[in-house]
Amino acid sequence: MNGLLFSKGNFKDNNEDSAWVSYHEYGGLRSKGNWKNNKKEGVWVGYFENGQLSYKGTWKYNMKEGV
Protein backbone atom coordinates (compact mmCIF):
# COMPACT_ATOMS: atom_id res chain seq x y z
CA MET A 1 0.00 0.00 0.00
CA ASN A 2 1.19 3.49 -0.78
CA GLY A 3 -1.06 5.45 1.59
CA LEU A 4 -3.08 7.10 -1.20
CA LEU A 5 -6.87 7.05 -1.33
CA PHE A 6 -8.21 4.07 -3.33
CA SER A 7 -11.92 4.98 -3.47
CA LYS A 8 -14.53 7.10 -1.76
CA GLY A 9 -18.30 6.96 -1.47
CA ASN A 10 -21.05 6.20 1.01
CA PHE A 11 -22.86 3.12 2.24
CA LYS A 12 -26.49 2.75 3.26
CA ASP A 13 -27.51 -0.44 5.08
CA ASN A 14 -24.14 -2.03 4.14
CA ASN A 15 -24.72 -1.31 0.42
CA GLU A 16 -22.85 1.11 -1.81
CA ASP A 17 -25.36 3.91 -2.25
CA SER A 18 -24.00 7.23 -3.54
CA ALA A 19 -21.57 8.76 -5.98
CA TRP A 20 -18.28 6.83 -5.94
CA VAL A 21 -14.84 7.71 -7.21
CA SER A 22 -11.89 5.32 -7.46
CA TYR A 23 -8.25 6.04 -8.13
CA HIS A 24 -5.28 4.32 -9.77
CA GLU A 25 -2.40 3.16 -7.59
CA TYR A 26 -0.51 6.44 -8.00
CA GLY A 27 -3.45 8.78 -7.51
CA GLY A 28 -4.94 9.40 -10.96
CA LEU A 29 -8.71 9.07 -11.41
CA ARG A 30 -9.73 5.50 -12.37
CA SER A 31 -13.53 5.71 -12.48
CA LYS A 32 -16.55 7.63 -11.26
CA GLY A 33 -20.24 6.89 -11.16
CA ASN A 34 -23.21 6.22 -8.92
CA TRP A 35 -24.30 3.20 -6.92
CA LYS A 36 -27.88 2.68 -5.79
CA ASN A 37 -28.60 -0.24 -3.45
CA ASN A 38 -25.26 -1.86 -4.36
CA LYS A 39 -25.96 -1.64 -8.13
CA LYS A 40 -24.35 0.61 -10.74
CA GLU A 41 -26.82 3.28 -11.81
CA GLY A 42 -26.48 6.13 -14.32
CA VAL A 43 -23.41 7.31 -16.20
CA TRP A 44 -20.05 5.71 -15.40
CA VAL A 45 -16.74 6.96 -16.74
CA GLY A 46 -13.36 5.23 -16.57
CA TYR A 47 -9.84 6.48 -17.28
CA PHE A 48 -6.49 4.94 -18.11
CA GLU A 49 -3.53 5.73 -15.84
CA ASN A 50 -2.40 8.42 -18.31
CA GLY A 51 -5.73 10.25 -17.83
CA GLN A 52 -7.23 9.38 -21.21
CA LEU A 53 -10.81 8.18 -21.38
CA SER A 54 -11.12 4.39 -21.19
CA TYR A 55 -14.92 4.04 -21.28
CA LYS A 56 -18.16 5.91 -20.76
CA GLY A 57 -21.54 4.26 -20.50
CA THR A 58 -24.91 4.20 -18.83
CA TRP A 59 -25.91 1.55 -16.32
CA LYS A 60 -29.32 0.59 -14.96
CA TYR A 61 -29.85 -2.03 -12.25
CA ASN A 62 -26.16 -3.02 -12.54
CA MET A 63 -26.44 -3.75 -16.30
CA LYS A 64 -24.88 -1.71 -19.10
CA GLU A 65 -27.41 0.00 -21.38
CA GLY A 66 -26.92 0.78 -25.04
CA VAL A 67 -23.81 0.47 -27.16
Instruction: Output the pLDDT for position 67.
Output: 72
Instruction: Output the pLDDT for position 3.
Output: 81
Which residues of the chain, if any, have pLDDT below 50?
none
Instruction: Output the pLDDT for position 52.
Output: 97
- Say which amino acid occupies 2: N
The domains of the chain, with CATH numbers, are 7-65 (2.20.110.10)
Does an H or E element contain 8, and which? strand 7-8
Distance CA 67, CA 49 (A): 24
